[in-house]
Amino acid sequence: MKIIMLGAPGAGKGTQAKMLADKYMIPHISTGDIFRANIKNGTELGQKAKTYMDQGLLVPDELVCDLVVDRVQQEDCKDGYILDGFPRTIPQAEALDAALANIGSKIDYAVNVEVPDENIVNRMSGRRACVACGATYHIVHSPTKEEGICDRCGKELIVREDDKPETVTKRLNVYHEQTQPLIDYYTKQGALKEVDGTMSMDEVFNAIVNILG
């Protein structure tokens, strides 16, 4: 079962990917993890990626795709895998399809966790973080005992830059420009499955499991 997770930042696709990976006992693969593993192990692909990252440049699509395809050919992926955060663009999706076709493989499902932008802005702007110990909270879903104070260490909580409404809105705009076309791409392939991400975490998970069968 080879799955791609799609969804805007804050839609909860990463959480769902981890839960699905546990249920089906297949690896949850993010490009960040692949980069770190290859750089740490000093692989040829990792060294190439590092030269771009050290200069603050984006790693080219072709190289990212090589890293992903190298990862999915490892033994633990023989029963499938879940890709989270890749592909992000049509060129990446096309490169991935071509590379998988070369090894006689293809993606089975592209699962889109659909959440309206307004919900995501509200969801993320409710997050609070402790700069002292790193604990995270949410003013609605996991509030602290005392407002604005960390339960764990008693220090003050902040709204991270990433969670401010204007930052979230910018990220969502970039997502729609780049990634929305992927939804059309996988729809044409008959691989796209959509799930209502406004439901509770468990309801979203059960909906995805029903789709995967």
- Point out the residues that are catalytic: 13, 88, 127, 160, 171
- CA 122/CA 139 separation, integer angstroms: 11
Question: Helices (H), strands (E): how many in the chain?
Answer: 8, 8
* Pairing outcome for strands 136-138 and 127-130: antiparallel
Report in angstroms the alpha-carbon separations of 20 from 106, 179, 181.
Answer: 19, 22, 25
Q: DSSP of 41-64, one letter per residue? A: TT-HHHHHHHHHHHTTPPPPHHHH
Helices 61-72 and 31-40: crossing angle in degrees, nearest 10, is 80
Q: Per residue in 149-168, is it b (16+ CB within 10 Å) or e — as a string?
A: ebeeeeeebebeeebeeebb
* Amino acid found at 84: D
Place of tokens 């979203």: 204
Helix (H) or strand (E) holding 28: strand 28-30
- CA 41/CA 181 separation, integer angstroms: 35
